Amino acid sequence: MKRCLLLLPLLLLASCATCWRGGEPLRTNELKSLHAVAADLRTADNIVVYHGLAHPVRDMEIYQQQLKTVPNVEFAGFRFHKKPEPVSPQLVRSVVKLYCDPASHQALASPKSTCAGFHPDYALVWSNKKGRRVLQICYGCHEWKYFGPGGVLHTDINEPAYFDSITRWLPPKL
């Protein structure tokens, strides 16, 4: 029995190693999806940036108050301020270029203990004759999440893209 108890931490560590992939590059199917999204995103000429409401779990009271007092809109299951962020076209191009660069992505790592669940701080929203697309950016989870006619692409933002670029261009807000 004591031997079994001694093995328990090793077994737990081994099981976690199979579900935590932090820092891994995108797999072939994710890269193909990213290339398709990037091709579409590069042709978008009507991208609008929205700031998310407070986190519905971590900041529940603030979020509930915002739902009542802040004009808001829903994109892909999350609420955002209805009034778009005043960002320059150059900033939008910079975010698009960063997202389209495969080096700014990593395979989605899970579970994450640093966040209270995916909740986007920002959404880039655009549409064309094929439908609406939404690119959500979650600062708590350091994740990109794209929704479009072809499906969903959910990846981690790598550290240089996150710390050196995205959070400087679109600062965190409450």
Q: Tell me the per-residue pLDDT of 115-146, one tens digit each, with 9 for 90 and over.
A: 667 889 999 999 988 889 999 999 888 999 99
Please report the pLDDT score of residue 136 as a whole number: 97
Residue 9 has pLDDT above 50, yes or no: no
Please report the pLDDT score of residue 10 as a whole number: 35
Q: With contact defined as beta carbons under 8 Å apart, do 60 and 116 qualify? A: no
Residue 149 has pLDDT above 80, yes or no: yes
8-39 burial, b at 16+ Cβ within 10 Å, e below that, comes to eeeeeeeeeeeeeeeeeebeeebeebbeebbe
Please report the pLDDT score of residue 109 as a whole number: 84
Residue type, 141: C
Please report the pLDDT score of residue 11 as a whole number: 36
Which helix (H) or strand (E) element contains residue 155?
strand 151-157
Average pLDDT, integer, range 69-85: 96
Provide the phi-psi class of 70: left if phi over 0, else alpha when psi is between -120 and 50, else beta: beta
Beta-carbon count within 10 A of 132 CB:
13
Tokens of 4: 């079994």
